[in-house]
Structure 1
């Protein structure tokens, strides 16, 4: 299970770079924080139940944060 968190950290890092290249800095910073969270959890060697609880909490917090960003902060098609 810890390897899956490292893999999630890798992919959120890739998405963070893609958001940064797309000039979406706040979303990129949110994904950088997710990357750090996943990689650190990948090295803790917790039980599978604890990993599932942490992943569920992460999904809740991330979706609230990303929804807030996409509704109130991001301007579609603006800036170019």
Structure 2
């Protein structure tokens, strides 16, 4: 399970680099922060249950944040 967090770190790094190339600096910084967090968590060697609970917390927080941003902050 720890290896999966390193894979998530790789993909967030790829997305961050593409955002940086597309001149979306705020998005790139967000994904670079997530990359550092995922790589750090990937080398902590926690239990599988802890990794799953942290991933669920991450998903809930990101979906709430995305819904808030798209509903209240995005100008249509």
If the length of structure 1 is used for normalisation, what is the TM-score?
0.79
Going from structure 1 to structure 2, the CA distance change for 1:35 and 1:61 (only over 3 Å counts) comes to: same
Runs of at least 5 residues in structure 2 that lack an aligned partner in the other structure: none
Q: Which runs of 5+ in 1 are unaligned?
A: 76-80
Per-residue deviation, residues 40-78 of structure 1 (Å, max 9, x unmatched): 0000000110000111111122334445555636x7xxx
1-side partners of 2:70 and 2:30: how far apart? 12
Aligned equivalents of 1:13, 1:66: Cα separation in 2: 19
Aligned pair in 2 of structure 1 residues 62, 44: CA closer, same or farther (>3 Å)? same
**Which aligned pairs between 1:16-27 and structure 2 lie closer than 5 A?**
16-27=16-27
**Residues 6-45 of structure 1 mapped to structure 2, 5 A cutoff:** 6-45=6-45
Matched residue SS, 2:23: coil
* Number of aligned positions between the proteins: 75
1:7-59: CA deviation from partner (whole Å, max 9, x where unpaired)? 10001000000011111111111111110110000000001100001111111
TM value normalised by structure 2: 0.82
Instruction: Report matched runs for 1:1-80 at 5 Å.
Output: 1-68=1-68, 72=73
Task: Choose between structure 1 and 2: higher helix proportion.
Answer: 2
